[in-house]
């Protein structure tokens, strides 16, 4: 069973907003056993939308549409769908009652509906209305020439509820769906091509219904095994069998046997042991701390730290010696060593990370070009320091520094656990 996702709105095409709806919908469909064939974004243009719908119907069994259902003149999805199906618009009583209920809740019992708001209850006469409990624009379900079309609001929290509570359950009850089983292995410190070479024979042995995908990202590669079919027990068995073979082969670079980010792996390890982490950041400006604190439960292991951009703060907060800074500079092995050991001592944590470097695009010198970064990780009695030379792009240097620091800390955790 194949699906296509179409997002409608000029704001997506000009980059004014990021299309997060498609990613959310794709995850929900995949979990239900529905494979996404294509994702498209189209403008608020009638002909463009009609063409996209016609082409999607040739590729997919299910077409999911978001956007263009608001009360203003630029929201043309509903009228365009009516034209596509060759039907008129009719007022739906349930949809109108919902609009009135929403208005009373938000604006009070005396709130008066404008005509433009009442028009939210107009829907193509061949649709089944999906009530919107978080907004006034109803969703619409169409069965047309053997295809299912579902149109939903583009507002993310409205669409998310509709997908989870209404659309996916209805698809499951309407269709006979296959099983899709995924298993993700997170690796760090080895490139995609090296990993592929090491497990080439295992990949060649995969049955036709099991696929292996390589998902690289800045020093990490996720290996995702996916199996498709009718026999759930067999699929799980085969996925686990081949995952075990891969893990045995490349176990030295495996950091997790589930689909979680590296910082969450570290969080879990420290929390399980009742140990703590502090961080001293310079060129990363708090980005590493953010990676941890974006996750619930970070307080169990993350104590905090310092963003010490200036010499003065490196000295006063972390205890870096003035003579070290004067002789070697902020971006040096000596300074990062004193930063990480200072964090460990000052913040009384079990582990510490320190990063200092030149993120760019300016500030580099001949002996310390832009992209030069020193990273230190430490625990009691053990400090590891490493120099990196990244590129000239500031945002990439910050992200690369953070990931490199996490990889170093994860290695230290593994070594300390032996």
* Cα dihedral: 226, 232, 234, 236 (round 10): 50
Tally helices (H) and strands (E) across the chain: 17, 17
CA–CA distance, 297 with 66 (Å, rounded to integer) = 34
pLDDT value, residue 70: 81
Q: Is 223 left (phi over 0), alpha (psi -120 to 50) or beta?
A: beta
The CATH number fitting domain 262-416, selected from 3.90.950.20, 3.40.630.10, 3.30.420.40, 1.20.1260.10 = 3.90.950.20
Delimit the domains of the chain by residue range.
2-174, 192-256, 262-416
* pLDDT tens digits for range 51-77: 999 999 999 999 999 999 887 777 899
Percent pLDDT > 90 in the chain is: 89
120 SS3 class: helix
* pLDDT, the chain, mean: 94
* pLDDT tens digits for range 116-125: 778 889 999 9
* pLDDT tens digits for range 167-194: 999 999 999 899 999 999 999 999 999 9
pLDDT value, residue 115: 79
pLDDT value, residue 294: 97
Query: 192-256, what's its fold?
Result: Alpha-Beta Plaits (3.30.70)
CB 129 within 8 A of CB 139: yes
CB 281 within 8 A of CB 305: yes
* pLDDT tens digits for range 12-25: 999 999 999 999 99
pLDDT value, residue 117: 78
Over 60: is that where the pLDDT of 418 sits? no
Over 80: is that where the pLDDT of 92 sits? yes
Global pTM reads 0.80
Mean pLDDT of 278-288: 98
The DSSP annotation for 356-394 comes to: EE--SSS---SSS-TTEEEEEEEETTEEEEEEEE--S-H
Structure tokens at 318: 């972390």
Over 90: is that where the pLDDT of 287 sits? yes
* Residue recorded with tokens 């439960």: 297
CA–CA distance, 263 with 410 (Å, rounded to integer) = 9
Over 70: is that where the pLDDT of 111 sits? no
CATH code for 2-174? 3.40.980.10
């Amino acid at each position: 069973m194949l699906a296509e996702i179409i997002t409608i709105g000029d704001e997506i095409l000009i980059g004014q907003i990021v299309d997060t709806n498609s990613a959310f919908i794709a995850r929900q469909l995949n979990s239900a056993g529905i494979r996404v064939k294509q994702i498209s974004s189209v403008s608020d243009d009638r002909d463009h939308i009609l063409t996209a719908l016609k082409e999607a119907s040739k590729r997919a069994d299910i077409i999911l549409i978001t956007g263009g259902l608001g009360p203003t003149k630029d929201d043309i999805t509903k009228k365009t769908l009516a034209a596509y199906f060759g039907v008129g618009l009719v007022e739906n009583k349930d949809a109108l009652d919902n609009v009135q209920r929403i208005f009373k809740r938000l604006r009070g019992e005396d709130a008066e509906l404008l005509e433009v708001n009442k028009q939210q209850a107009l829907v193509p006469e061949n649709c089944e209305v999906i009530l919107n409990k978080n907004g006034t624009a109803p969703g619409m379900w169409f069965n047309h020439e053997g295809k299912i079309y579902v149109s939903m609001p583009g507002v993310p929290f409205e669409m998310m509820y509709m997908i989870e509570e209404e659309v996916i359950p209805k698809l499951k009850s309407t269709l006979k769906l296959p099983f899709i089983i995924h298993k993700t292995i997170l690796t760090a410190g080895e490139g995609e091509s090296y990993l592929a070479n090491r497990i080439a024979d295992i990949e060649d042995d995969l049955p036709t219904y099991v696929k292996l995908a390589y998902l690289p990202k800045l020093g990490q590669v996720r290996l995702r095994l996916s199996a498709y079919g009718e026999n759930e027990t067999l699929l799980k068995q085969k996925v686990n069998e081949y995952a075990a073979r891969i893990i045995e082969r490349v176990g030295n670079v495996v950091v997790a046997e589930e689909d979680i980010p590296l910082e969450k792996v570290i969080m879990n390890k420290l929390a399980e042991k009742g140990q703590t982490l502090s961080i001293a950041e310079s060129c990363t400006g708090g980005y590493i701390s953010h990676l941890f604190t974006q996750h619930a439960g970070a307080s169990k292991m993350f104590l905090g730290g310092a963003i010490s951009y200036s010499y003065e703060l490196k000295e006063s907060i972390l205890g870096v010696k003035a003579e070290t800074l004067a002789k070697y500079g902020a971006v040096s092995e000596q300074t990062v060593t004193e930063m990480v050991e200072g964090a460990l001592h000052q913040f009384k944590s079990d582990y510490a990370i320190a990063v200092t470097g030149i993120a760019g695009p300016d500030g580099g010198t001949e002996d310390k070009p832009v992209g030069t970064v020193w990273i230190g990780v430490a625990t009691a009695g053990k400090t590891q320091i490493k120099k990196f030379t990244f590129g000239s792009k500031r945002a990439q240097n910050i992200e690369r520094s953070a990931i490199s620091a996490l990889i170093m800390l994860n290695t230290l955790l593994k070594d300390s656990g032996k």
